[in-house]
Structure 1
Amino acid sequence: MAVVTMKQLLDSGVHFGHQTRRWNPKMKRYIFTERNGIYIIDLQQTLTYIDRAYEFIKETVAHGGTIMFVGTKKQAQEAIAAEASRVGMPYVNQRWLGGMLTNFQTVHKRLLRLKELESREQTGGFEGLTKREILTLTREKDKLEKTLGGIRDMAKVPSIVWIVDTKKEHIAVGEARKLNIPVVAILDTNCDPDEVDYPIPGNDDAIRSAALLTKVVAEAAAAGLMARSSRNGASADAKPEPGVAADEPLAEWEKELLAGSETAAADATEAAAAVEAAPAEAATEQATASS
């Protein structure tokens, strides 16, 4: 089954590029035609590149990797937060702080500070302070939550970054490239394909387009988590391969999904047994009636 269909791409407006005067000549090979001053992206290529990116993300996550979702423009903020949270991955949908990747050690200290303030607030640690002191600490916590809340549980730099709008997120792209972290991103007709390792030609300005492609990326991560879980179940005592990060715990939604799958399988087994038993029971009843 296809990861996404041509109809879904068309319905979401993934094929609409920028005005012809706002383009990057390097994107020429991804353009199908021009219509009313707008470039139309070749969706056949988009489908091919989606499959390529999907498999890469799935395999990376299956081997213990993580993917950071990045999209701070208004059109992408909701989808970035929703899809990343759904699969338990870190995300940035407000403002990218310089050094989030290249200076993660410092960022990690700010995360610890955020957790400290939250703990103090929840356990009565603000008691005995003046209203002004409480207000100052609360504002500090809220600011940290807004900018770092999406990466609060990130213990190390991600294995992959997913970017919506590489021009707007050029700092994030630059940091990822500096650390040799693979970049998977939507490539609109005004983008530079040389900056992206796994491009997906498409519209990065429309809400539905950004949401659809971000959902595909999240589903790839989900497939990787499921594969990781299956592998762990099959070889619980196996040692990880050299250079491969230790597998991370499954997200709650995945545990529920696995539990649901096991319940469904058990129900199917019982149903099959009942069907097999039915002819024998019928024969017994017929024999009893004849005698």
Structure 2
Amino acid sequence: MAEITYKDLLDAGVHFGHLTRKWDPKMAPYIFMEKNGIHIIDLNKTLAALDEASNAVKQIVRSGKKIMFVATKKQAQDIVKQEAERLKMPFVTERWLGGMLTNFATIRKSLKKMTNLDKMMKDEQTVKNLAKRERLMIGREREKLERVLGGIADQSRLPAALFVVDIKREHIAVKEAQKLNIPVFALVDTNSDPTQVEYPIPANDDAFKSISLLVHAFGRAIEEGLQERKKDKEDTKQKEGEAEKRALDEAEETTTES
């Protein structure tokens, strides 16, 4: 992974926390100092946390599991959506529906409904038989489902972990993950409780530059995990091929001898 430096974090404003009066005391170990009424995050701690999170997520992805990206705040939506789509990972950037994890069976029904609407709209005969008002209503319903569930359309099972930008805003998602023992990787600002997640990355979770830098760094770690998984598969295939060739050679030798 292309290493992120202390200067990269500094240039992106990752160290700027919230006003001191808005802090969560549990963030104390990650705070370097106070300046002009604002808490300054210790970037050495950020680098260490990012390194730990990267190594952990790499192993999860290498085993073939999915990471769900969650970020509904405006300045994070596009970055997160683009990175999740690039990595073919599920994402939620519009609205977190209560029960998206804890009541996944119901969510799956909505996903099935979306698929059925797609099939219906692609069937020319069905569309022809519908009144204009009905077509309009189906189209609107499809758009609504796509907006909220489009990022998890291919999700047939629960994710292995969550990556969250701003745990205070996404508290429902974090709570659901806790209930199901799903680990959470997250950007955690000075106004949040880092003990709520397994892999807190202390950082400014409001500034576009800060979010962008860290989301892409996390994405690169996932990419490395995917590449390692691909190599594992190729190595296994090669070993199986070699074993099969040996078995055929041995069988041939036995036939020749007899």
1:185 equivalent in structure 2: 186
Q: Secondary structure in 1 aligned to 2:128?
A: coil
1:231 equivalent in structure 2: 232
Unaligned segments of structure 1, at least 5 residues: 240-291
The Cα shift of 1:237 comes to 8.4
Where do 1:80-229 residues align within 5 Å? 80-124=80-124, 125-229=126-230
Amino acid at match of 2:101: L
Q: Secondary structure in 1 aligned to 2:75?
A: helix
Greater mean alpha carbon deviation, residues 121-130 or residues 58-67: 121-130
Cα deviation per residue 1:143-192 (whole Å; 9 max; x = unaligned)? 00000001111111100100000000000000001000000001100000
Where do 1:7-86 residues align within 5 Å? 7-86=7-86
Q: Secondary structure in 2 aligned to 1:39?
A: strand
Q: Secondary structure in 2 aligned to 1:34?
A: strand
Q: Is the 8 A contact 1:3 1:51 kept in 2?
A: no
Unaligned segments of structure 2, at least 5 residues: 241-258
By percentage of residues, which structure has more helix? 2
Q: Give the CA RMSD over aligned residues.
A: 1.4
Cα deviation per residue 1:31-51 (whole Å; 9 max; x = unaligned)? 001111111000001000000
The Cα shift of 1:2 comes to 5.4
Larger Rg: 1
TM-score by length of 2: 0.90
Q: What is the distance in 1 between the residues matched to 2:2 and 2:33?
A: 25
Greater mean alpha carbon deviation, residues 3-12 or residues 103-112: 3-12
Q: Secondary structure in 2 aligned to 1:17?
A: strand
Amino acid at match of 2:73: K
Q: Secondary structure in 1 aligned to 2:18?
A: strand
Amino acid at match of 1:37: G
TM-score by length of 1: 0.80
The Cα shift of 1:119 comes to 2.2
Amino acid at match of 1:177: Q
1:289 equivalent in structure 2: none
Cα deviation per residue 1:117-158 (whole Å; 9 max; x = unaligned)? 122222323221011111111111000000000111111110
Q: What is the distance in 2 between the residues matched to 1:101 and 1:32?
A: 36
Q: What is the distance in 2 between the residues matched to 1:238 and 1:98?
A: 46
Report % sequence identity: 51
Q: What is the distance in 2 between the residues matched to 1:123 and 1:220?
A: 42
Q: What is the distance in 2 between the residues matched to 1:217 and 1:116?
A: 35
Q: Secondary structure in 1 aligned to 2:21?
A: coil
Q: What is the distance in 1 between the residues matched to 2:155 and 2:11?
A: 35
Q: Secondary structure in 1 aligned to 2:234?
A: helix
